[in-house]
């Protein structure tokens, strides 16, 4: 919880700086690069290793993140010096939420049992855009366990039109009816 809270605080601080510099989208892209670098388990473990001198850690990140805005790199350096590398994922996630809110965007995740064709993705995108009345950033994933249909995740709302959910609902109704008649 502390890492998540500090991630939100750092994200708000860096978002405010980016806003002042009129670079919110660029810094979002830079934070995406940082998040991708630290998703590498070996690199993240190296940055957390207690026996590695802080100067070596800072030199490694300076090399890997050479194209990233210096203020974003300063944040990374600060988190490394505080042994809070784990907060980077929370910073990126929170910054993305702030950026989306600022730009009037809504992130939506679609889960289907089979990959969608582009025409289907376009129809779903239009449908969801009409629901949320905002620009939609759509991501899709395939999960064969839902059997069919689709699941739409809009923020904390879930629209489950999957075959699995329908079968589960039918099973629950049958159990309820059998229990009631017994």
The pLDDT mean for the chain works out to: 91
Distance CA 47, CA 41 (A): 10
Tell me, yes or no, if the pTM score tops 0.85: no
Cα separation values, 151 from 97, 110, 142, 169, Å: 21, 6, 10, 15
pLDDT at 6 over 80: no
Cα separation values, 56 from 30, 47, 68, 77, 106, Å: 22, 9, 18, 11, 39
Q: What is the pLDDT of residues 156-170, one digit of tens each?
A: 899 999 999 999 998
Domain with CATH 1.10.520.20 in the chain: 2-101
% of the chain surpassing 70 pLDDT: 97
Binned at pLDDT 50, 70 and 90, residue 108 comes out as very high
Q: What is the pLDDT of residues 19-44, one digit of tens each?
A: 999 999 999 999 999 999 999 999 98
Distance CA 90, CA 173 (A): 41
CB 157 within 8 A of CB 148: no
What does the radius of gyration of the chain's CA atoms come to, in whole angstroms? Answer: 22
Distance CA 81, CA 85 (A): 9
One of 1.10.40.30, 3.90.550.10, 3.60.20.10, 1.10.520.20 is the CATH number of 2-101, namely 1.10.520.20
Closest of 144, 142, 81 to residue 109, by C-alpha: 142
Closest of 78, 58, 65, 57 to residue 31, by C-alpha: 65
């Amino acid at each position: 919880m502390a890492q998540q809270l500090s991630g939100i605080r750092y994200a708000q601080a860096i978002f405010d700086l980016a806003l002042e510099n009129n670079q919110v989208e660029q810094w979002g892209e830079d934070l995406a690069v940082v998040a991708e670098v630290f998703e590498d388990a070996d690199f993240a473990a190296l940055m957390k290793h207690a026996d590695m001198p802080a100067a070596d850690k800072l030199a490694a990140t300076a090399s890997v993140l050479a194209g990233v805005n210096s203020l974003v790199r300063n944040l990374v350096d600060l988190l490394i010096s505080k042994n809070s590398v784990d907060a980077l994922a929370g910073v990126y996630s929170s910054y993305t939420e702030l950026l989306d809110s600022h730009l009037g965007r809504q992130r939506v995740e679609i889960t289907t049992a089979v990959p969608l064709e582009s025409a289907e993705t376009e129809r779903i995108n239009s449908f969801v855009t009409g629901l949320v009345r905002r620009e939609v950033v759509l991501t899709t994933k395939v999960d064969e366990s839902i059997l069919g249909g689709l699941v739409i995740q809009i923020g904390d709302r879930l629209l489950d039109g999957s075959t699995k959910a329908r079968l589960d609902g039918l099973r629950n109704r049958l159990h309820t009816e059998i229990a009631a008649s017994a």
